[in-house]
Amino acid sequence: MAKAKILLVFYLPSGGMETLNRQRCKALQSQGIECHLLYLQNGTGMQNISQIPTYITNKDEEIKQILLNHFDTIIVSSDFPMLQRIRKLGYKGKVIYEIQGLGSFTNAERILTQAKSNVLTYSNGILYPKTQHLIGLIESLYPAHPKYCFHNCFDTSEFSYRRTHQLDYPVVGWVGRLEQNKNWYDFVMFAIRFIKHKPSSKFWMFIDDTLSNPVEKKRFTQMLIRYNLTKHVEILSNIPHKTMSDYFSIIGDSGGFLLSTSKVEGFGYAVIEAMSCRCPVLSSDSDGVKAFITHNDTGKFYQNGNIGSAVNQALDLINNLELRNQIISNALNHLSIFSLEAYAKEFMKILD
């Protein structure tokens, strides 16, 4: 008999939210919590989900039927109008509004201000990761509302280094959508300059093609052609999550690294996944990743928008083998604070 039953609600299964939902279901199931997922539309992440009851619908009548499952708590991520919708469909239990992946500080501030009436009227509390710009916004906008703030979880037993084949050239990886906050433009500008120092290097871009902005995608393709990058850049679309550990392991073993160019990250699952696979990370100073990266200790930062700074840090990460190995080792040791056990312990406080 489950101690409690919860429903996790989000727009669609993709990216970091799909990873978080799947991994926290595992964390909570170990504590006797029964977890169900509701996505309003289909997404590429469905290929990763198994053994978790998962619903896909945006129809009121179907959602109303799902709510008859007698959930003790519903967690609604990002979609604040859904709070009122769930109440109107008759749900009387505990509803928590979760804040994840709201993009830039300006965007997060706009959404959290818009959400205020719904959150205060229809939710019992707010859940958010330990990300400084979110902490500041939530404390100022929601001073009296119950708040739960703790790190997202990461399952190192499921996602870790795999010994694969050794490449004879360094690979620079990038994970994201072709949109402005993920900042693909800086990645391309980096590639143009980095190739001059390491002509044999390759660039692997892992993209959810179903979520790319068509205008950004066109610009991106035009830039690859204009700067003769098509033979250096490989696009890998909609790779199953479990296969990504192989790719990150290959990148790390090649002497390369993951480059994260995001303007702002709420958490940044790709960064922690790379670290778990012995693939060092060079990142823009994008807030959420500060939970994982301390400069020259567990990873490297470059000055936002400063491509010269990024290239210099990248060359140090490739050429300074002592520092590189130290960063890889320290990063692995640091991951324990994101354990499933630690997450479940904090989450139980919400249910209690």
Write down the CATH number for the domain with range 171-336.
Answer: 3.40.50.2000
- Report mean pLDDT in 10-residue bins for the chain, 352 residues: 87 88 94 96 89 96 95 96 97 96 83 96 95 90 96 91 92 92 92 96 90 85 94 92 94 97 81 96 85 93 93 97 98 93 94 87
Pairwise CA distance, residues 61 & 248, whole Å = 43
* Model confidence, pTM: 0.85
What residues contact 352, with CB distance under 8 A and at least 6 apart? none
CATH of 4-149, one of 3.40.50.2000, 3.30.540.10, 3.30.70.1400, 3.20.20.10: 3.40.50.2000
pLDDT at position 174: 97
Contact 161, 109 (CB under 8 A): no
Supply φ then ψ for residue 342, to 5 degrees. -65, -40
- Other CB atoms within a 10 A radius of the CB of residue 202 amount to 20
- Domain spans in the chain, listed from the N-terminal domain onward: 4-149, 171-336
278 dihedral zone (left: phi>0; alpha: psi -120 to 50; beta): left
Rounded CA-CA distance 255/201 in Å is 10
Distances 287 to 154, 266, 318 between C-alpha atoms, Å: 18, 7, 24
- Asked if domains 4-149 and 171-336 share a fold, the reply is yes
Distance, in Å, from the CA atom of 148 to the CA atom of 130, rounded to the nearest integer, reads 10
Instruction: Fill in the amino acid letter for 185.
Output: Y
Number of neighbours of residue 284 by Cβ within 10 angstroms:
23
Alpha-carbon distance of 302 to 44, in angstroms, equals: 31
Cα–Cα dist 79/225, whole Å: 38
Burial 232-270 (b: 16+ CB within 10 A, else e): bbeeeeebebeebbbbbbbbbbbbbbbbbbbbbbbbbbb
